[in-house]
Each structure stands twice: as C-alpha cells, then as structure tokens.
Amino acid sequence: MKIATYNVNGVNGRLPVLLRWLDETAPDIVCLQELKAPQEKFPEQAILDAGYKAIWHGQKSWNGVAILSRGDLPREIRRGLPGDPDDTHSRYIEAEIGGLTVGGLYLPNGNPAPGPKFDYKLSWFDRLITHAEGLLAAEKPVLLTGDFNVMPTELDVYKPESWVDDALFRPETRAAFAKLTAQGWTDALRTLHPNEKIYTFWDYFRNAFARNAGLRIDHFLLSPQLAPRLVGAGVDKQVRGWEKTSDHAPVWIELKD
C-alpha cells in the first residue's frame, strides 16, 4: 500500500499538476493540504475521473484538507481538531480506510514569532498532542500525516542558522514535535533515511529549488501497530520542478500488507 501527502498550495490552481502526479504515481491514499477552496469548490468530479473518492474540509481562500482513496470512500471520523470549539480553521480531517485510521493535518505556520500567530500554533500543537495520545490509546494502526510546519532537527533545514527565530524552527516548536513523537510515533522518513538531507519544501524565491535550499516540514507519523509495516518512504522531488507547481513536493510511504 502506498500512501502520500501533498500540500498542493491551491487545489484548483494546481489541479493539472495534481492530476498528472496522481496518474504517474497512483498512490492508494492521499492526504492534501492547503486546498484554498470553500467546500463547494473542491474539484470532486476531476478527482473521481482520476480514480479517487474523496472527503474534504474546505475553507474560502485559506487552509483546507482532504483525504483521497483509490478504493472505498474514506469513512469520515472527524473534521476539525478537538479542544477549541471556537477554532474555525480547516486544518484537520480524520477517516478510516480499510482498517487504517488516517489523520490528515495542516499545522499553523505561526509567523511572525513571537506573537498571536505563534501562540495559536503552539496551542494547536498542544491539542494535536492530546488527540494523538487518544489515538494511540486505541492500539490500532494509525498514521498522522501532512504539513506540520516544523523542521525537527538541523538536518531537516538548509542553513539552520538562518532559521533560529522562525516559527517553524524555534525551540518551542521543535520541543512540541519531540513531545508528540515521544508518545510512541515513528517518523517514517527519518527512520528509513536517518542521515540524509531530505527536503519536502523549497521556497519560490532566491532560486531555492535549483540550489536545493529546502526544508523537511511534511511528515508521516506511524503508530506502533503500523510502524512494523513500513518498507519504503521518499519524496517525489521532481514534481517541485514542474510548471505552475506547489512549493511543496509530494511525500510518500509504502506499507506491506
């Protein structure tokens, strides 16, 4: 089984890129972030024509997450992260697909830091940690994936000294990610590529992609029941070089049956 995550940076504007990638790589399950489309503007028919059933949590202009499946329609468990009834951001969606629980997320950026946006990022992270603990308590195969907007270590960022004050790399953010993984989650990419500079995001500016000046901010976290099935993980870096593409590249894992 191949599962992928992809921050599309606008599902309608990048639809040709998304459809081409789906056609060329054919993942079984896909989590998308930054749809930047209200609920009624999600391109459901185009996704169906590509061979995928989808559930999504849209929001006008910003955010938005979706889960696609080549098999059965994902059975939605929840949309929105629990813990703050006043939070209207479309940043989390969770479903069951073939006995697997999939949580797709788009964690807040948090810049500028310090400030209200950074406070929101950390509070959202705290809610994720609480929810993730409950998922683990069920002792089922679970994965959390998406754009976490955090570089966990210096290996995950080009020129780490340039990012020390950024919300994606501040000590509080990295500590929150470490607290999350310490619950028992396996960081799939880092587990299979322990010493490799592997990036998932390259800025549009300063020729970042050509210089490979990237960040690893899109992650797969696997529960103890799922981690032993991990046999492959990587980044479809070539997609970042396509015309009118996202500033992220798709990230994928392979699980044995």
CA 98 to chain centre: 20
84 is catalytic: no
The CA-based angle 105-195-100, given to 5 degrees, is 35
Tokens 């880092």 belong to: 190
Task: Tell me the CA distances in angstroms from 10 to 41, 87, 126, one per residue in order.
Answer: 11, 21, 27
Choosing from 6, 52, 106, 199, which is the catalytic residue?
Answer: 106
Task: Tell me the CA distances in angstroms from 100 to 69, 94, 96, one per residue in order.
Answer: 12, 11, 5
- Characterize the bridge pairing of strands 29-33 and 2-7: parallel
147 is catalytic: yes
String of b and e for 85-121 (b: at least 16 CB within 10 Å)?
eebebbbbbbbebeebbbbbbbbbbbeebeeeebebb
Choosing from 147, 156, 187, 247, which is the catalytic residue?
Answer: 147
- Residue 199 exposed, middle or buried by CB count within 10 Å (0-12, 13-18, 19+): buried
Task: Return the SS3 of 241.
Answer: helix
* 54, 55, 61, 62: CA torsion to nearest 10: -110
Q: Which residues contact 178 (CB under 8 A, 6 or more apart)?
A: 152
How many residues in total does the chain contain?
257
Supply the residues annotated as catalytic: 106, 147
